[in-house]
Structure 1
Amino acid sequence: MNIIFMGTPDFAVDSLNSINKSSHNLCCVVTIPDKKVGRGQKIRKSAVKNHCISNGIKFLQPLHLNDKDFIDELKSFNADIFIVVAFKILPENIWTIPKKGTINIHASILPNLRGAAPINWAIIYGLKKTGLTSFFINNGIDTGDIIIQEEIDINENDTYEIIYQKLKKLSSTFILESIKAIEGGLKPKIQSKIKSEFLKAPKLDKENTRIKWNDTGNNIKNLIKGLSPYPGAWSIIKSNGIRVKIIDSEFIPKLINTNTNGSLLPNKKDCMIQVKNGVINVLKIKIEGKKEQSGRDFVNGYQGKEILFI
């Protein structure tokens, strides 16, 4: 098949590499323009662009997806399919170009976890399984007809980073199986349209990544795992306004104290914080502007002080 690949971050690289090494014809790759970042305004290239440069793959970096010259160039390749992995939302005049349609690889078992952050939310919700879905792009967000799906287990101590890496590795074979299914004339499956049947995976923001200490220990632990190591579940020390991110923790149920939820238990070697139905023992914590440290080292730095996280 003649294929145009569209992607940006590291997550897309394994899929791209797999297609490039296959018998299919990779016409070109589309990725985002370079960005200036930081105080020094250094140029940052996407992970996909770096891979293209290293492997001699032709790539395009349109400033605007609706640019006429860009669209004309896409059409000139006469591609059978476009494959999208972690890229922008495509306008209809682009995803309708290829003969066999445009497919997207989404990091969940659709229709569950439609949205921008499916890996994070699978863990935050405490799900036992997640996976990959390939589907044909349509006018909705992650609502197109399903080609194939593949599940993986989420183990008790799996963090966002662990599941990210598992799915990234899986994508290299999954993408080829998806192409094979299309070549074989597989009839895609229509997604359920009953919204109450599935969980959402909205974009992460300051509000939904903040720890609510009045919540249950399991919910808080899942939030921490689902945001570890990035962007990090966060809280604020009330007395000084310092922001902290909790990177790793364990929940100890039934260890109930009369302290306010969010308070650091006094006279403890470990960093134990009161929650609704027990305590969260903080194993790794990062104070804003400082390096990550153990919960015990954090407690030693605040010895004798009353600490309330809000």
Structure 2
Amino acid sequence: MKVVFLCASEYGFECLRCVCDILNCNVVGVITMPKQYEITYDNGRKSRIADNPILDELFEFCELGKKELFISKKVNSLETINKVKKWSPDLIIVSGWYQIIKKDILDLPSKGVIGLHASMLPQYRGGAPLVWQMINGEEYAGISLFYMDEGCDTGDIIAQKQVKICDGDTIKELYERVGKTGIDLLRENIPLIESGTANRFKQDDGYEGSVFPPRTEEDGLIDWRKSSKDIMNFVRAQTRPYPGAYTIIGNKKITIWDCSIEDI
């Protein structure tokens, strides 16, 4: 089965390495972003510049594995579409990607375009799902493997797994556990996709799943009117490797990396 892989994050690169080791998965091309690229959100009304932390590693990985690497500023550009057509993939896999993929790409592979999203879809569609789940005090997070369509995380589900959010977790620890679970989903389901026996079920139309925006550094300002538990969740959801929750004392910004609730 010929596969094209899209990634622009450390986790996406980890998923790429996993897919390359799956029997009968021939990764014929890899697409990534430039060293710096623009992310747009809020229906195109807002944007920010992001870094691609894996570009140099990808160059080396693809050179050693004799895989063609294509750098795409805009995934839906005619140049990118023609490159994918040339590769003629059976399946496209997306992980750690920050642009909506449109119909011209989605319709190319015979077995579809699949991606991972770190929530139990249709819950927590959109940006930074694990951060939002921890901020909101959820007992469980999760990860979904799904067929991508033109919506925001709205495609048919292939498989999902819940992951408990433990009391002592930071966002880093939760991210690592959810990430491992996502790789398990890839290993378990890609062979089923190849054989045509994978599950496929629509997301619950009766559930009004919220679409959450990406978070910025400015979103880390602590609201001290919240409960102690809410503040603790807010801090641990944005600690390293993220910029951190913070407060302003005088004219000085104070970043708070950890906190706990103590009886007085």
TM-score grouping bracket, smaller chain normalisation:
0.7 to 0.9
**Paired residue total:** 244
AA of the residue aligned to 2:35: D
What is the CA distance between 1:180 and its match in structure 2? Answer: 2.5
AA of the residue aligned to 2:141: T
| RMSD over equivalenced CA pairs, Å | 2.0
**Does structure 1 retain, via aligned residues, the 8 Å contact 2:101–2:150?**
no
Quickly say closer, same or farther: Cα 1:222–1:116, change in 2 above 3 A.
same
Residue 186 of structure 1: which of 190, 195, 198 is its match? Answer: 198
AA of the residue aligned to 1:236: I
Quickly say closer, same or farther: Cα 1:145–1:48, change in 2 above 3 A.
farther
**Does structure 1 retain, via aligned residues, the 8 Å contact 2:189–2:198?**
no
Q: TM-score, normalised by structure 2?
A: 0.85
2:234 aligned partner:
223
1:269 aligned partner:
none
Quickly say closer, same or farther: Cα 1:155–1:193, change in 2 above 3 A.
same
**Does structure 1 retain, via aligned residues, the 8 Å contact 2:217–2:243?**
no
Find the residue that maps to 1:248 and give its secondary structure.
coil
**Does structure 1 retain, via aligned residues, the 8 Å contact 2:144–2:182?**
no
2:68 aligned partner:
58
1:277 aligned partner:
none
1:234 aligned partner:
246
1:267 aligned partner:
none
Structure 2 residue 113 is matched with structure 1 residue 102: yes
Identity of aligned residues (%): 27
- Alpha-carbon distance in 1 for matches of 2:77, 2:223: 45
Deviation string, structure 1 residues 171-211 (Cα, Å, up to 9, x no partner): 33321223133234234111123454x45532113564211
What is the CA distance between 1:94 and its match in structure 2? Answer: 1.0
AA of the residue aligned to 1:120: V
Deviation string, structure 1 residues 130-152 (Cα, Å, up to 9, x no partner): 12101111121001110001222
Unaligned runs of 5+ in 1: 37-43, 256-310
Alignment of 1:1-310 (within 5 A): 1-23=1-23, 24-35=25-36, 46-47=53-54, 50-54=57-61, 55-56=64-65, 57-87=67-97, 88-182=99-193, 183-196=195-208, 198=209, 200-205=211-216, 208-229=219-240, 230-237=242-249, 239=250, 241-252=251-262, 255=264
2:46 aligned partner:
none
- Alpha-carbon distance in 1 for matches of 2:180, 2:28: 23
Bigger mean CA offset, 96-105 vs 173-182 = 173-182
Superposition misfits of 4+ residues, deviation over 4 angstroms = none
What is the CA distance between 1:34 and its match in structure 2? Answer: 2.1
Higher relative CO (Cα under 8 Å, sequence separation at least 6) belongs to 2
AA of the residue aligned to 2:200: P
What is the CA distance between 1:58 and its match in structure 2? Answer: 2.1
Deviation string, structure 1 residues 26-59 (Cα, Å, up to 9, x no partner): 01110001239xxxxxxx7541651451343321
- Alpha-carbon distance in 1 for matches of 2:54, 2:252: 33
Find the residue that maps to 1:104 and give its secondary structure.
strand
- Alpha-carbon distance in 1 for matches of 2:198, 2:153: 19
AA of the residue aligned to 2:14: D
Quickly say closer, same or farther: Cα 1:231–1:166, change in 2 above 3 A.
same
Unaligned runs of 5+ in 2: 38-50
Q: Which structure: larger Rg?
A: 1
Quickly say closer, same or farther: Cα 1:181–1:122, change in 2 above 3 A.
farther
Quickly say closer, same or farther: Cα 1:210–1:113, change in 2 above 3 A.
same
- Alpha-carbon distance in 2 for matches of 1:124, 1:147: 27
Q: TM-score, normalised by structure 1?
A: 0.73
